[in-house]
Chain A
Amino acid sequence: MKAILKYKTLYLMMLPILAYFAIFSFYPLVRGLIISFQNYRLIGDRPFVGFDNYMTVLKDPVFWDVLQNTIVIGTGIFVINFILPLILALSLNEVASVWFKKVTQMIVYLPHLFSWVVVGGMWILMLSPDTGIVNQIIQLFGGDPISFLASDKYARSVMIFTSGWKEMGYTCILYLAAIVNINPSLYEAASIDGASRWHKVRFVTIPQLSSTMKMVVMLNVLGILRMFDQILVMRNGAIADKVDVVMMYTYQKGILEFNIGPATAAGFLIIFATLVISFVTRALIRYDEG
C-alpha cells in the first residue's frame, strides 16, 4: 500500500492504458468466451450449451481442412519471414554506399506500410495471366502464361511469397538496428585474429543477432494463426480450398452465416492454439534467457 502511495503518479499515468485494454481487449475477450458457450441469438435469451459449439467446430471437416491450410501457409510465411529479412539485412550491412543502403531499405520497407487491400490488389494485377508483368516476362522467355492465382499448384506459394515480400522490410529493419548495436571491438578482435569478411558475419554478426532472432520468431509465431486480410483479398473460388484459413472460417460462420456461437468457439480454439504454440516456442528457443 505504501508503495502504491509512493508511486501514485505513475499508477495514475497507467490508468488510461489499463482502461483502454480493459475496454477494448479484456472485456471483448471475456464476453467472447461466454458467447462461445452459448446458443447465441441476436435478440432474446441465450441459453448456455456447454461445449456444444466447440464440438460443432471440432466435428466440422471444413475446420480441419482450413486448419491444415493455415498450418502449411503459416509455416511457409514463418520461414520466409525469418530467412529473407536476415539475408537482406546481412547483405545491406556489407554495402558501403550509404545512399544505396538507405534507398534500398526504404523501398523494401514501403510495402509494409500499405494495407493488404492495396498490396493484394497489386499482386492480382501483376500475376494476371494476360496483362500481368510476371506473365509478360515469362512470355518474353518463351514460356506459357500461368494463372498463378487460379491454380491449385501455385496458390499457397503465392500467398507465402507475397507475404514475405510485404513484411520483409519491417523485419529487416529490426535486424539492421541490432547490427548497428554490435560492439565494434568484436570485429576488431576478429580482424586481429585474421578473420575474413564471411567469418566476421558467421562468427560475430549472426551470434550477436540471436536475441533479435528470438524476438522475430516470437512475433511471427504469434501471427501465424491470425492470417486473414491477405487471404480475404487474394482468394477466389478456384483456390479457396487451398488457401482458406481458420480466420476465414470464423468470418464465414460469424459474419456471413450469423452463426455466432461456433464462430466464437473457433476463434477461441485459435487463441488457445496460439497460446500453446507460443509457450512451446518460448521454451524451445529459450526466449527468457536473453
Chain B
Amino acid sequence: MVKRKKFISMIMAVSLLGGVLAGCSSNSGNSASGDNKTTPTAQADSKNEERTLKMMTGVIGGKTPEENVKFEKEIERLTGIKVTMDKPASDYDQKLLASIASGEKYDLLQVSKERMNTLIDQGVLTPLTDQVKASKVLSDPSVIPTDEWDQVKTKDGQIYGVFTKYQGGTMPIVRKDWLDKLNLPEPKTLDDYYNVLKAFTEQDPDGNGKKDTYGLSTAGMYELQGFFSAAGLKQRYVETADGKLDVPYSTDAAIPVYEWLNKLYKEGILDPNFATNDTGKMRNMFLSDRVGMITYWDAWVGMLNNTRKGQDPQTTFEAKGLPGAADANGNYMLRRGDPDVWVIPANAEHPKTAFEFIEWWNTQDGIMLGSLGIKDEDYTMDNGKYVLTQTGKEHASDHGVPFWYNSNVEAPFGKLPGVQEAQDLVNKYATLELTPPNWSEAEKIINEYSFKAIMGEMPAADAVKKMREELKAKKLID
C-alpha cells in the first residue's frame, strides 16, 4: 500500500514538474514568434541600423581562436562594421542548430546549399532576390556570372543565399607521371580507363619491384560520377521530362558501369578497402604511391602536388585531373559540389548591414581577406605587392575563400600546379546534382546495392533491379 502511494505521488510530482516547465517553454515559444513579428519593424528603421554583425561560420575566419579575433578586427578596419564571429572548431551543423534553436540571433550564417534548402523549408531565412537584383556589385556578371545564380535559386526563382566562394567539382585524378612512365595515353573511354588502371596495378609504376599498387581507390560510393559518365548517368537525382524524380544509378543503363567496377574489384585493380575508406585514407594512399587514381576535388589536384613538392622538391609526382569516361557521343559528365552560401536568418537584427557585408565579401578587399588573410599577420604589402608571411604560407591562402568568382580580382600568387586545368574541366563538363530532402534515405539503398554489385555479391542486373524496387517501395522515386 505504502509502495503504491509512493508511486502515485511520484507520478504526480513528475507531471507537475512537467506542467510547470511546459508552461515556461510555451512562453519561450511565444516569445520566439513574437520576435518574428518584430522583424519587419526592425527592417523598417534599418537606415539607422547599428553597424554591427553577429555571424556564425564554418570555414571562414581565422585558423585559431586567437586569429579569429584578429579576423574580426580586420573586418572592422576594412568595413567599419563591428563583427562578432562564432567559428566552432568542429561539428559545425550541430552547433549551428543548437545555437539557433536556443534563441541566439545571428545576422549572417555560412551554410551549404543543402542546409540552406532545409532552412528555407522551415521558413527561417530572409529572401534576398530583390536586394541581389538591385545590388551593383552582385548583379555584375564579372563579379558573379549570371548563370551561376541558377545554382542557388529555389523553384519559384527566389534567392536566399549568396556565394561565399567559388565551389569546384570532383573528378578522377590520375598520376600523370605514372602514365608517362608506362607510356600510356590519357584514358578517354571506359576501356581505356580499364587498361590504364590495370597497368598501374600490374606494371609496378612506382618501381619498387613489389606488386603493391592499385589502379583505383575511392572513398566508398562518394564519387564515381566520372565513370558513370560513360553511360551518361548523373549522380543522385534528376528530374525527368515529365517532372518526375528519378535516380539514374538505379536504371538499366547503369548495369555495364557496375559490371566494369566489379571487374576492377575482382581483378584486384580497385583498392579492396574502398568501402571502408574515408577521403583522408584515400588521399594518403595516393600520396604514398599506393594507388594511381582517385576521385576528388579539383582544388586538391594542386594541394596533392604541393604536398609532395613540399616533402621532396625533386619529386616527379604529378597529379592531374581527368574529365572522366566519355559516353558513346563523346560527352563527359562531372559533378559540381553544392556551393557554400551566406544567408540572413529571419530574426536577424541587422539585415541591412549583413547584406552590405555580403556585397563587400565579393570585392577585392573581402576576397583578399577570405583568401590571403589578415594584413601584417598573413601577408604584408611591399611596393604594392603582396608578400606572404610564414603564418600566411602555413595558411595556404585559404581563410574560407581559396577560389572566387570575381574575375576582376586576380589571385596574387596564381594557382597551385594542376588546379587551373582541373577547374577548366569542371567549368566545361560539371553540373550540379539534385539533392531532395530525403536523399540520405535513398543514398542508403543506392549504396547497399551498388556495393553488392561492385563486390560481386550480386549480379549487377539483379542489384539494379532490387535497388529500383526498393526505391519505389519506399516512394523515393516516382
Contacts and interface: CB of A to CB of B under 8 A. Distances in A.
Contacts of B272: 128-130, 145, 147
Interface string B22-66: 100110011011011000000000000000000000000000000
A34 B124 contact: no
Contact of B451 (A129, A145, A237): A237
B315 interface: no
Contacts of A239: 275
Contact of A255 (B17, B94, B455): B94
Contact of B22 (A30, A151, A236): A30
Interface string B79-110: 00000000000000110010011000000000
A46 B474 CA distance: 28
Interface string A58-72: 000110000000000
Contact of A257 (B124, B437, B474): B437
Contacts of A152: 452, 457
A130 B21 contact: no
A31 B474 contact: no
Contacts of B35: 43
Interface stretch (B168-176, B299-307, B406-414, B441-449): B441-449
A123 B474 CA distance: 34
Given A43-B346, A151-B457, A255 B93 contact: yes
A43 B345 contact: yes
Contacts of A128: 272-273, 276
A44 B440 contact: no
B32 A44 contact: yes
B145 interface: no
A236 B21 contact: no
Interface in A250-290: 252, 254-258, 260
B25 A236 contact: no
Given A31-B25, A149-B275, A258-B118, A61 B101 contact: no
Nearest to A149: B276
Nearest to A65: B444
Given A27-B21, A43-B100, A238 B447 contact: yes
Of B18, B276, B441, chain A has the most CB atoms within 10 Å of the CB of B276
A147 B275 contact: yes
B276 A150 contact: yes
B115 interface: yes
B363 to A, nearest CB: 30
B276 A236 contact: yes
Contacts of B22: 30, 34
A252 B94 CA distance: 11
Contact of A238 (B115, B122, B451): B451
Nearest to A258: B118
A239 B221 CA distance: 12
A149 B32 CA distance: 46
Given A31-B21, A257-B437, A42 B97 contact: yes
Contact of A34 (B25, B115, B451): B25
A282 to B, nearest CB: 14
Contacts of A252: 440
Nearest to A46: B29
A167 interface: no
A59 B437 CA distance: 18
Contact of A258 (B26, B122, B221, B450): B122
Given A41-B124, A129-B273, A237 B447 contact: yes
A244 B451 contact: no
A42 B275 contact: no
B447 to A, nearest CB: 3
A250 B322 CA distance: 39
A42 B448 contact: no
B36 A238 contact: no
Given A42-B119, A44-B346, A150-B455, A241 B448 contact: yes
A236 B474 contact: no
Contact of B440 (A130, A238, A256): A256
A151 B275 CA distance: 10
B109 to A, nearest CB: 11
A244 B124 contact: no
A272 to B, nearest CB: 14
Given A237-B221, A240-B444, A257-B118, A42 B36 contact: no
Which 3 A-B residue pairs are closest in the complex by CB-CB distance? A237-B447, A150-B275, A45-B33
Interface of A: 26-27, 30-31, 33-34, 38, 41-46, 61-62, 124, 128-130, 145, 147, 149-152, 236-241, 244, 252, 254-258, 260
8 contacts: A30-B18, A31-B21, A34-B21, A43-B32, A149-B276, A237-B221, A237-B451, A241-B445
